[in-house]
Each structure stands twice: as structure tokens, then as C-alpha cells.
Structure 1
């Protein structure tokens, strides 16, 4: 795929296969049907010694899927593991009774988008199969196991007794959506369409529809296949028709070409989507219809000039995201992801890396609609396991930490194929990542690097390799090969990927690229991702000039983005991370997770969010942060009359976590306060109670932070500047005593569909409505009307109060209540109580 140092993806229309590729029967009035199979389940959490499928009926409780049982429990520093967020695992059983009317010419499938993990499925007492990987979709043909015209029972066992089997919070249970799919025996199988656009100009785009047809009849069939491309308004923009015969019990692949005139391109700013509607006609009768959503776009990676989308050079402003979302754990409602992605988008984020596993179908659906580029990652470990408590070589071997490495040899190809087949129609996906920091699990790489087993006194993060490439290669070649060879596994995974999709580059996140470039690992990749190795950008480009390079795991700091801006050949970066996540917290109790996010566990903005917004967004932005002189990383220097770093140059080596600052103006009189302002305005004035404290230019501050030293006095501190002739300002106001709890929500109208959610934010305020962020109180929420309380959170990394509650202590005077609609229309009334504080009820309409 590489030619003249340019990786070109000239295709790009990829879409979303609605409802696993089947249109809703209720909408289309055709035989195909995808039934929402999330309702009316029962759940039982068992003792690991209890393998019975029936057990005492009292042990069962009703649940609606998706469901994560771990997040319903209490955090436990003794029985829990920090690697997975101090929440328990166990064995969970699910069962559901249902009836379905399957005709003699029809097929039925049960589809799971994700079960964490080691899932076994039975239907009417017959075992359908076992699926170990918690992040990949899987389905079963259940046609021959259904009871005709009577009740059926499906049972699922999820075994997460290995509750520290990962390095982050995984959740437990059937945590993604489930569907019951019925179709004609002559049909497009699940994930059976692949839409590409191999040629795109301003005047037209060639749309190629690759469509599988399966005939499960015992006789030959003749049919007509019609594919129509519809625009966003439902107007037909092109059409192709094929007439074919298919042998009994066989499968064929058809290719149809359609011309779309004056195509509208999918882009991060205007993510335009088309739908390909494919119809199967037999004897002039419609027997099946399938919708594939796709976008038309093209891109390339140039080893010298970076990344281009639709012909425009674009820096990738990405973040890494794990799959949990605070109080809902891994069973994340679509509305929760929508809110979080919207906030990230407002900061200028244009790309997501799904660290370190395939995402849900709904997550990718949102990325298509909202205009995010997505690097979808397959695996965190390959042939050899990772120590779940540490990132490097294995230091402990015990039952609870055994993870996917136990199944990789047998299941890797199946899981990779399932991910690509399900997701290759998403226009958002622009890279497949075959692995994350895999080098840690092969001792040869660590030992050959020269960083870790020599008498070297340097710093791995900020310094070049202490030995030459030739010495690295010699050390590697002299080392013992081991049972598995990393480069060979990488080539195998890359080959499997390209068997299914050659339209996207294969990449991986390399933690030791100085070794990986020399040993064949990087040869398996089209784009090489560097993990925390921005110090090697020039080294990599000079030594391996034909390989496109980008940052795939980097620090949420100005120095990381500066390194990208200064190098046209670096396509962009993915910051670690976009949002705080549970896990990787060993030995830090009560810290329950990793706090490197731009947003906290509740989806509230952190100071680093505002710094990155000032770097990544064109929208004028001012954010004021404050800290006492003794706690600040800065100080007043009388000799220069400037605020300077206490440790000169420290900003160039800042790591994952933002330094300690406050978002308030509430201190003791005459306290010496360091005021920091994060802004993209070139010039800024700071005022205290209307009096100017001086005008400064951003160019004065190499660390991109405006700074003043201010003796504290009550009142209002304001940052003010101009952008395109318009005055932009932001203030912090000293509050008086706590007076009320202010309730707000961004979504005061819900669909009564048992899925839609509303985030209710409670903030303690004074009588004038100013937020109080220095005093905490316990808040108790009351909810009247038809709504389910999903839980509460305050965003703090040390909050280990139960999520499944209606009360908690605030953080910075703030708390979050998450509500979900039921199927019953209602007026929902939310109130909050905290001592004598007043509150106005919040009304939410569910309809």
C-alpha cells in the first residue's frame, strides 16, 4: 500500500449496517425483522461453586439489558483489585423466556454485541456455543433449536471469576445490546454488505457494493438484487440491478457499481451519510431488504506531509477512550456517550482511539454522525499475557489475572474478523490497530532497547536511545527468540486484516519503536504509532523516512502538541486520555482509576480540557485557574517581576496529570494567589474588581499559560481580550454563603423508550447563583414520575461511594444524577435536599 512514501486510501465510503444489516420489519413491512431483545431478562449472581442453570428461583431478579453487575456493587479495597477499579467479578446467569413465529422458509439468529466475558449460551437446553472475548460481537443460528409455536428459554452464563483479567475496568455481564434476527432462507447474512467508493471526484463518486447472498434452501434459487443509494433526504441518487442464480445451500458474493453525481463528502465538520438499500426480489416479490449506511470520503497518510482528508491537510487531534463511563460502568446508554463526545468535540477533538479493544456498535454509530475519525483497536495482548497490575514483564501469575492471552492462539482470527466485518462500513473508522504496547510482553524488545538493563542514568521519556540502531539490532539478534516471535504475529494479524479490508491502514501502538523498526514489527504496519515517544519523532523520520508516523498515546500537555505542530510529517496524536476511567489504580486507594482525562468520571470538564481547547479549537476561549502560592507550581520572581516556574523548564516534561489548580476565587484576604489563564487569544488583560492588573501577550509564555500573581481580595477576577474585534471575557466571583441547590439538565425532554437519558447536575450556589466550590455537602435526590435512577456521581477520582444510590457527597459543590426514561410517558420531577439549602424542582417531560 505504500508508494513514494505516501499511504493513500482513495476509497472511502463506509457505512453502518443497520440492525446487523436488516431493516426493521415494522418500518418496511417485509419478512426480515430485528427484534430488540434487551427486555424481560432475569439475572442471578452466583457463588463460583454453583454451576447450576436452574438454582433457587429466589436468586433471580428482573433486568433490562445492557447490564453490568459489577458497577452495581460497592467498591472494595480488600477484596477488589485496583487494576479493574476495586469492583468485583463473579459468575452471572441470565435467562429469558420468549415466543417467536418462524415460518418454514425463515431463519432465526440470536446476536450479542458484547458479553464480558467467557460467555456460554444455551437455547432450550442445547448449548449453542462459548465466546471468551468480551469485546467482540457474536451470534448463533437458532433456527433448529426453537420450539415451534411455543415458549423458548435462552440462558447465558458469564464467568468473570478472573476479576483482575485486564488492566482497566471491564464490567461484567451482557453489557451490550442483544437482538433476535429473523430472515428468509435466501438472504444477506449478518455483516454481509461492504460499501466502498474507489473513485471520487467533485462531479461523481463510484460506489461499489459488495454483497453476500446465502441460500439455505435445498433447491436452486433465481433472484433479482437491486441496490439503491439514498441521500440524507431519502432521494435516490443511483441504482444497480443484478439477476442471478444460486445453487442450493451455498453462498455467493455479488459486486454492483453505482454512480453518485455531485457527491457530498463525509468530513469531520460535515459528516454526510448516505444509505444503500439492497432488495432481494424473487418471483416479483420482495423477500428481503437491507440498509447499509456509509459516507463518501478519501484520505491518505504521507510520510513527509502528514494526514490528508478529502484532499486537505489535517492534524489528528485525538483522544484515547476506554469503554466505561463512570456510574454506568460498561453498560453505557447511547445518550451518555453522546453527551461525552459532544463535550470533547467542543474542545476541538476530531479523533478517537478505542483503547484497547473494539467499541460497541452504538459508539461507532455516534462517531459516524458526529464527525469523529476512529482508530479501532483489536487487542491489548497477543501470544504472551500482560501483568494486569503492571505494564511491563510478568511479575505475578495467579488465577484472577489470566485474561485474553489464554485464548489468543485459538480465537484471535475469529475475533479480528468479527470486528472488521461488523465495522468496515463505518465512515468514521480510518485505521485498524492490531495491538497496544505489545513489546512489553516479549522480553527481547525491552532488553534490546538499552533503556532498562544497562548502567544508563538517562530518562526514557525525554532522551534518545542510549545505544545506536546497530547496537540495538545486535542485542536483539543475540537474544533468545522465545516460543512466539512478535514480528511474525504482527504480520499474521496484518494479513488477516487486509484479507477483509484493504481500504484502511494497519497500525499499532509501539512503546519501543527504536527496537520495533529494526525487528520486522513495523514492517507489518502501514502507519507506525508511537506511545509516549515524541522524543523519537525526528529519530524515526530520519532513520525510517518511508514510514508515516504519528502519536497514538501521548500526554495531555502543551509540549506534546507543540511537538506535533512543529513537524509536518507527524499526522497527529491521541492523548491519554479523553475521559478518566476506572482501573490501573493498584496501591492508590481510594483512587479508583486513572485521572489523566480531559473530563472526569462524571463527564465534567477538567483544567486540562480547557488547555487543549485553547490549542485545538478556533472558538475564542478563556479559562481562569487559581492556586495559593505555596501549592502552585509557579512563584512570583521579584527580580524579573514575573511569575515563573518553581522548577524551571518543568512544563516541557509534564506527564499524565495536570497540576493542582482551582476553578474559584475564594481564599483568605491577602493570600498570595497565582492566577493562570488558558486561552487562544493572543493578548489578554486581567482585572480584579474592575482594576486592571496588566495586559500580557501569549507569546510571552513558552508554556502557553498566562500568569499573574495577585494578592487576594473578595470580588470578581476577570480575563478579557479581543477576537476579530469582539470582546471576550470570563470571570470568577467570590460567593457568599451557601443558599440553594441549583438543578440543571441539558435534556429536559425524553423519549419514553426505556433508553433515553437525562443528566441532572446539582450545584451548590449562593443567593446570587454563584457556584460554591470550596464546601462539600451530602445531597439526596428525590425523583417522582416514570424514570429509572441509574445512579449518582460527583466526578472525583477518590469517590468510592456507591454509584447505585440517590445520595452522595458533592465534589467542588457539584453532583450528577443520571435518569433513564421508562416506556411510560410521564412528567418527571427531580428535587434535591442538603440540610437547609433551598431547591427548585426540575421538570423533565418523558413522552
Structure 2
């Protein structure tokens, strides 16, 4: 079937409108848009919305989308299908006023056969009503509307149906690979056809491998053709070299080409066993993973290809080799980006089964929808080299019950029946699974909980600290004792046995025990505390059965607001405090800045040999702040603290070396032990003095690396960097402009604050502008923002015409120092 981009020339109206003709009657005017489009990010945040901090105080709503398009008379005998990759939440698709499809799951791609409703030889109207008005339906920022792409498929009577091609790597090593291509061929006509099906595999050097088979296709029949291609000296796909072949499947009747499909495919073979762990192409791999939500910060949930690529690139540069889509199926654009960048994917089905986590979540529909959800998910994922794991759920509350174990087995088996090439897991949280059984365990472990609370600096068990006491069962000595408790073993036993890989959320203390209980199983930290990386990675490296971990989380996100904010005003985390907008829990913040914990993680992974300096915020020294297990320290890589000269400062140096030495303006502040035995961290206390702070690492007395921070000069300048040199004229391509304050020498100034203005003219528009401040109040549609930790970020969107985008940027009060950036917009 021929695929056509269907994202342009839509009209958008907030609220419900029956048709374009009655807009005026409803007192509304349509806005012309190009998909993808997140309606929620353009809403005014509301302190009183029922969604509260879960969505960052963005309200839900009902939204209507219209598109008119001509339909040729020739289409009367053709198959015509629309694919919606994601509409949040409930979608109703109308064709010429007739309801053609309702879809309840906001994260599942779905198809609408529209041929029977079309008026051939005329203009036709598609209307989509996206209903996200049932607030409290998500635990994180969901977005609203048609936030992923839409495609139109048109097929002749003889065609490759949708999802009709499956490619499987049967063998793969450096000498040879064998790939099987299974192609469905449908003949919807009333006559027999003599066909030839050809397959070509081509690499970037245009080396072509091909095969052809003959097929007699009888009237109104469907056949599957299996072809194998042997490739000599293949370019294998892995995390370091994500090579992609171009695969083209064509169907001929004589010399006439009836249909074709082209796709990218990475040749790789994944294997798993308890003796050797996870292997890709025979090479062992530990999963350096992160969980991520689907939004792109200032852009909301809109799934732009360029935004997905940027996120994947930044995660890869930060040392991650794998991601978990939390907690819903990943979009196609994201999987494409993971294929290209070499990120492995755990694709997750859902956040709940039959027990609600929100008043209006998908638990209402799960038992009615799960089979279609799994089928759509497997169809979407099958040809993506990046996808290696299917997760059937996240912290499912009934997982520790007999019925929960039955559902878990049912879901895992369904995935295995549809795709035997990948593995299944489930992110099990023992606190959820134990249910009421957790309270006697808490009583038993009360001395350890009090001990851990005392070490954390509080023995108050009221209010927010009561919650923190409960959470102590997920960290520290009490957490480890809880993880291996017999009651936890009892409630997780049956569900653990029906998945390929036992997945644990916040149960690091249990990973090695599982090797004794289930010696033929592998274990994975499906969700872990960021600050626990040093201890956790030691566990990962201690056994081949322990495959890796997925931290919460690698990239900051909207919603779950305040999870990781350091409150100095008495507020508590998870308190839904307005105007909190982001979780503030990512290794990378919304502007793309790598926070210090990201470099600590990179050192623990063994990917960075140079030390790294992180300074606790000098302006917050001595102040009490909130703390949860997801938070490490409120620190930043900066030695610019104007007005705090002579004030105390705490400096951490991260290093895998035995010792580190810290120098301030050439004077040694002493040597201290670091490395694995000391959590890869050495702490120093000094007084702030402008100049140069330098760390030197030593192994066996020999210097192994240096890192320095310099105080920025008084003159504050603005540096702007564009991540793309040119854009495509498709209405969807993006250029990200990263802005940061610095001095004349280029030294970053993370303490300074300036209001930045941006103006976009020409062949594009300003898609979004903002900073990483988790408590900001401005709209991402605004053309003026203040820097946060020295940074701001803008996204410029190309139009659909060739030309040039002119971007002008200046700091408030310094209009004479305007910077102009020209971005060419060329053909698609």
C-alpha cells in the first residue's frame, strides 16, 4: 500500500464542533495547524485543575480537528486506510459526518478503514474529536489531541496489507547473516494473478542482496511468502554501530509493479540465558538504562521526529544504551530514532490492569482492550532492531494476587505467541504487590526504618515524613531487608515465573537472591533510584544473571511535578504544589543540560576517566530542604556565586580513581579517597573564593585526569547554538536553539539570570521557548523567558515552503547586541 503523509492542512478548534460549517454558530474560529499537535501544552495552567501536579497543573479538555481532501474517482476500487499513531485520550473519527472509529487508548496507534464512507470524485471531510476532559486519568503529563503523526494508505486490489512485512534475523555474526522476510500478499480482486515477489537488501555502499519467488494468487485470497537472504560479511546493528539496511519488497505482475514497501532494518540477533546473560550478536551487553516519559518539555507531547532524535542523541551521549517507555507503548518516531542512534528499547504496555491508579484511567477498559493493544504494539515494534523487551505492566497493584498472576501469564504468553524473537518482563514493585501484607512487615522492620530515618536527619513520623517512612521500605538497610522478606517472595513468586526476565522496581536488594530462587532466570532493575547508581551497578556487575538497570529517570519531564524539587520553604515532595510543572528528577534537564548526577553515572559505568566537580548551591548552604530517595544533591557544576565570597561551600568530586585532590586557585585542599569503595565520591568543604577550582585524580599515585571550574567574569554574554544547519520544508522539522550565559572567554555563567527575547520570521515559526525551571509560571508559547541555571531553549519549526528562517535573539536591556541566525529551509 502506498503511504502518504497526512499531517498538513488540518484545522483545530478547542471544544466540540459538529462541522466546519457551523463554526460561527459556536462562536469559534478554526486554527490552521500541521500535525503533530499537543493541545494541552497551549492551555493555561490552572491551580484548581483536578489533574493537579500529575500533569503539571495543565487541564484536560475536548478538542476537534478537521481536514478536507479530494478523493479521486479512481479510488473507488482501492483500499483506503488512515493510521493515527496517537490521539489522547478517547478519539472519535468521523468521515463525512459518519462515525467510523472510536479508540479509547491514547498511546496505541490505530487504523480506520474509510473507503466505504468516501464520496469519490469530491472533497471529503475527516473530523477527529479528541476527548481528554475526564481529568485525573494520568499520573504524568499526557498531552491532548492528535499528538503523533497521521498517515493515509491507499492500496490497489493486489497489495501488501498494513503490517504485512516481518523481517527476522535467523543468524548473525561477523562472517554471515541469514534474514527471513515474510510478506503477506492480498488479492482483493475477483481474478487470479500470476505474481513475482522480489526482496532487496541494500547497504550504504549500495551492495545489494536479493531474492525472488513466484506466487499464484487466486481471487479474494491472502498468502504469506517467506524468503531468506544470506548476507556475507554483514554490517551488524548494535549500540555502538547501529547500521541500518534498506529493505525493498516489490510485487510484480509481468513487468507491471503492483505494490512495494520500503523500510529500514538492522540485522542483529539477541539471545538470553542465565549463564551468559543478554547477548547481541554473541556479545554480552549490560543495560545502562533509563525510564523516560514521552513528552519533550517545552514542546509538550507532540512527537516531532527531530525532537525524538534530539532526546535519543542526548541520552546516548550521557552514557545510556537503553530506554524504557514509561508507562505505555512508544511511538513510531521514537523507535525510528532509537534504531538510528543505537538505543535498546523496553517497550511497555500499560501502567495499570484492573485496579485504578487514577479515578478515570484505563482500568475501566483494560480487559476489553488488551488483546488489540498487544497486537498493535507487536505490529509496530517487530521490524525495529532497537526493541528487545516487552514489559506487560508497571507497578501493577494486583500482581501479587492469584488473579494478577493469571493476567500476567496471559499477557506474557500473548506477546510470545505474536513475537517469539523478544523477551517479556514486568516492572514489579513489592510495595504494590504486597498490599495489606506490607503493614506487618513495616512493624517488623520498624527499628531499621527508625535507624535509616535518624541517619537521614529526622525521626518525625508525621505528615510528609510518614510518607517518607513508608518509602524507607524502598531504600537503605530497611529497603534491602524488605526486598528479601519471605512475604515479598510469596507475593511475587508466581508472576516472576511466567516472564522471561524478572523485572523489579526499587528492589535492588533482591536481585542476587533471585539467582538462588530461580537459577534459570535473569533479573533486571526495571526502575531504580538515581542516587543508588554506585551500589546498584556493583550488583549488576557481580552476576551475569543481573542484566542492568533503568534509572528513574534520564531526562526530566512534565508532570509528576515536584517529585525531585529541593524545597527550602517547608513544602513536601509529592504534595502537588502549584506552580510546580516538572518532576525535576532527570539526569538531563528540560534545556538539555546534563546535571552532575549524569556525570557520576557515566563514571560508575566506566565510560569516563576524568574526575568531575559538583558544587552544592552555595546560596543554599546550611538550609534545610526536602528529600526523597529519588534525589541526590542540589548541586551544579559552577564556581560562580556572586555575593557569596567567603561563605562556606561544599564541593563533591566524582571519580573512579583511588584518590582525588582539590585545588582552589592553585592551593591544595587535600587529598581524599574516592573510587568504588567510597561511592565514587570525595567531599570537601571550603569557602567560596572566585577563581579556579580544579580536581586531579590519582590511581596508584599516578595522575589519571583533571577537571576544573572557573569563575565567570562580570560581563555577561549570550551564547546561542543551533543543532541543525538546515531544515526540511515539511511543516514538521525542528531546529533547537540552546542558549546559555557566559563571559567574554566563554566560561559558563550558571548563576547569572537574564531575560531573553526571541523573534522568528520568514519560512518558519517559533514552536516553543522556555527553560528548565521546575516552578516557572510562563507559557512555552511566550517569546520572552528568563534563563534558569544559565540556560534557555527554543524550538523553531519549519513551514512547508522553501526559504529562510530568520531568528533574532537578544537579552533584555541589550537590544543593541541582537544576534541573528539564518536557517535555510529546503525541499523535503
Q: TM-score per shorter chain, which class?
A: 0.7 to 0.9
1:56 pairs with one of 4, 9, 23: 23
Task: Tell me the residue number matched to 1:403.
Answer: 361
Task: Tell me the residue number matched to 2:451.
Answer: none
Task: Tell me the residue number matched to 1:737.
Answer: 714
- Give the secondary-structure state (helix, strand or coil) at the position aligned to 1:494: helix
The correspondence of residues 61-210 of structure 1 with structure 2, limited to 5 A, is 61-79=31-49, 80-101=51-72, 102-103=74-75, 105-210=77-182
1:590 pairs with one of 558, 575, 579: 579
Query: In the TM superposition, what whole-angstrom CA distance separates every residue of 1:245-271 from its partner, at most 9, and x where no partner exists?
Result: 233223222211222122221111011
Task: Tell me the residue number matched to 2:663.
Answer: 687
The range that moved more, 117-126 or 99-108, is 99-108
Task: Tell me the residue number matched to 2:195.
Answer: 223
Q: Is the 8 A contact 1:206 1:260 kept in 2?
A: yes
Measured in 1, the distance between the counterparts of 2:703 and 2:66 equals 61
Change (3 A) 1:85 1:38: same
Q: Is the 8 A contact 2:174 2:236 kept in 1?
A: no
Task: Tell me the residue number matched to 1:784.
Answer: 761
Query: In the TM superposition, what whole-angstrom CA distance separates every residue of 1:40-63 from its partner, at most 9, and x where no partner exists?
Result: 10011116xx66775424431111
Measured in 2, the distance between the counterparts of 1:596 and 1:301 equals 32
Structural RMSD (CA): 2.7
Measured in 1, the distance between the counterparts of 2:294 and 2:613 equals 31
Q: Is the 8 A contact 2:657 2:675 kept in 1?
A: no
2:269 pairs with one of 298, 302, 308: 298
Q: Is the 8 A contact 1:595 1:657 kept in 2?
A: no
Query: How far has the Cα of 1:428 moved from its partner?
Result: 0.5
Measured in 2, the distance between the counterparts of 1:338 and 1:417 equals 26
Query: How far has the Cα of 1:767 moved from its partner?
Result: 4.3
- Give the secondary-structure state (helix, strand or coil) at the position aligned to 1:268: coil
The range that moved more, 574-583 or 249-258, is 249-258
Query: In the TM superposition, what whole-angstrom CA distance separates every residue of 1:529-580 from its partner, at most 9, and x where no partner exists?
Result: 1110001112222122222111100111222223222333211011111111
Measured in 2, the distance between the counterparts of 1:159 and 1:105 equals 34
Measured in 2, the distance between the counterparts of 1:603 and 1:245 equals 55
Q: Report whether the alignment pairs 1:604 with 2:593.
A: yes
- Quick one: higher RCO (CA 8 Å, sep 6+), 1 or 2? 1
Q: Report whether the alignment pairs 1:626 with 2:607.
A: no
Change (3 A) 1:266 1:503: same
Measured in 2, the distance between the counterparts of 1:714 and 1:507 equals 51
Q: Is the 8 A contact 1:759 1:818 kept in 2?
A: yes
Query: In the TM superposition, what whole-angstrom CA distance separates every residue of 1:99-118 from its partner, at most 9, and x where no partner exists?
Result: 13344553221111111121
Query: How far has the Cα of 1:609 moved from its partner?
Result: 1.2
Query: How far has the Cα of 1:755 moved from its partner?
Result: 2.3
Measured in 2, the distance between the counterparts of 1:735 and 1:630 equals 16
1:371 pairs with one of 321, 339, 342: 342
Change (3 A) 1:170 1:537: same
Measured in 2, the distance between the counterparts of 1:736 and 1:365 equals 43
The range that moved more, 322-331 or 218-227, is 218-227
2:518 pairs with one of 544, 562, 572: 544
Measured in 2, the distance between the counterparts of 1:354 and 1:700 equals 30
Task: Tell me the residue number matched to 1:520.
Answer: 494
Query: How far has the Cα of 1:809 moved from its partner?
Result: 2.2
Task: Tell me the residue number matched to 1:396.
Answer: none
Measured in 2, the distance between the counterparts of 1:553 and 1:51 equals 44
Give the TM-score, by structure 2 length.
Answer: 0.85
Measured in 2, the distance between the counterparts of 1:673 and 1:131 equals 55
- Give the secondary-structure state (helix, strand or coil) at the position aligned to 1:562: helix
Query: How far has the Cα of 1:630 moved from its partner?
Result: 9.6
- Give the secondary-structure state (helix, strand or coil) at the position aligned to 1:66: coil
2:316 pairs with one of 345, 356, 373: 345
Measured in 1, the distance between the counterparts of 2:716 and 2:619 equals 31
Query: How far has the Cα of 1:521 moved from its partner?
Result: 1.6
The range that moved more, 494-503 or 226-235, is 226-235
Q: Is the 8 A contact 1:193 1:292 kept in 2?
A: no
Structure 1 alignment gaps of length 5 or more: 1-31, 389-400, 446-475, 635-645
Task: Tell me the residue number matched to 2:278.
Answer: 307
Query: How far has the Cα of 1:603 moved from its partner?
Result: 2.4
Measured in 2, the distance between the counterparts of 1:227 and 1:745 equals 40
Q: Is the 8 A contact 1:742 1:839 kept in 2?
A: no
Query: In the TM superposition, what whole-angstrom CA distance separates every residue of 1:675-734 from its partner, at most 9, and x where no partner exists?
Result: 112234555442222333344453486121132222322211122458999974432222
Task: Tell me the residue number matched to 2:640.
Answer: 666
- Give the secondary-structure state (helix, strand or coil) at the position aligned to 1:296: coil
2:230 pairs with one of 259, 283, 307: 259
The range that moved more, 692-701 or 130-139, is 692-701
Change (3 A) 1:202 1:730: closer
Task: Tell me the residue number matched to 1:425.
Answer: 383
Q: Is the 8 A contact 2:655 2:697 kept in 1?
A: no
Change (3 A) 1:360 1:621: farther
Query: How far has the Cα of 1:191 moved from its partner?
Result: 0.7
Q: Report whether the alignment pairs 1:825 with 2:803.
A: yes
Task: Tell me the residue number matched to 2:421.
Answer: 503
Query: How far has the Cα of 1:126 moved from its partner?
Result: 2.1
Query: In the TM superposition, what whole-angstrom CA distance separates every residue of 1:647-681 from its partner, at most 9, and x where no partner exists?
Result: 9xx9xx98211211133223423222221122345
Q: Report whether the alignment pairs 1:44 with 2:21.
A: no
Query: How far has the Cα of 1:343 moved from its partner?
Result: 1.7
The range that moved more, 34-43 or 807-816, is 807-816
Task: Tell me the residue number matched to 1:458.
Answer: none
The range that moved more, 162-171 or 560-569, is 560-569
Q: Is the 8 A contact 1:613 1:621 kept in 2?
A: no
Q: Is the 8 A contact 1:739 1:837 kept in 2?
A: no
Query: How far has the Cα of 1:130 moved from its partner?
Result: 0.6
2:504 pairs with one of 511, 525, 530: 530
Query: How far has the Cα of 1:65 moved from its partner?
Result: 0.5
Query: How far has the Cα of 1:96 moved from its partner?
Result: 0.5
Q: Is the 8 A contact 1:749 1:844 kept in 2?
A: no
Task: Tell me the residue number matched to 1:234.
Answer: 206
Q: Is the 8 A contact 1:507 1:525 kept in 2?
A: yes
Q: Report whether the alignment pairs 1:246 with 2:217.
A: yes
Q: Report whether the alignment pairs 1:753 with 2:730.
A: yes
Aligned residues: 745
Measured in 2, the distance between the counterparts of 1:617 and 1:157 equals 50
Query: In the TM superposition, what whole-angstrom CA distance separates every residue of 1:395-445 from its partner, at most 9, and x where no partner exists?
Result: xxxxxx31211111221101110110121000000011111111x246xx3
Task: Tell me the residue number matched to 2:543.
Answer: 567
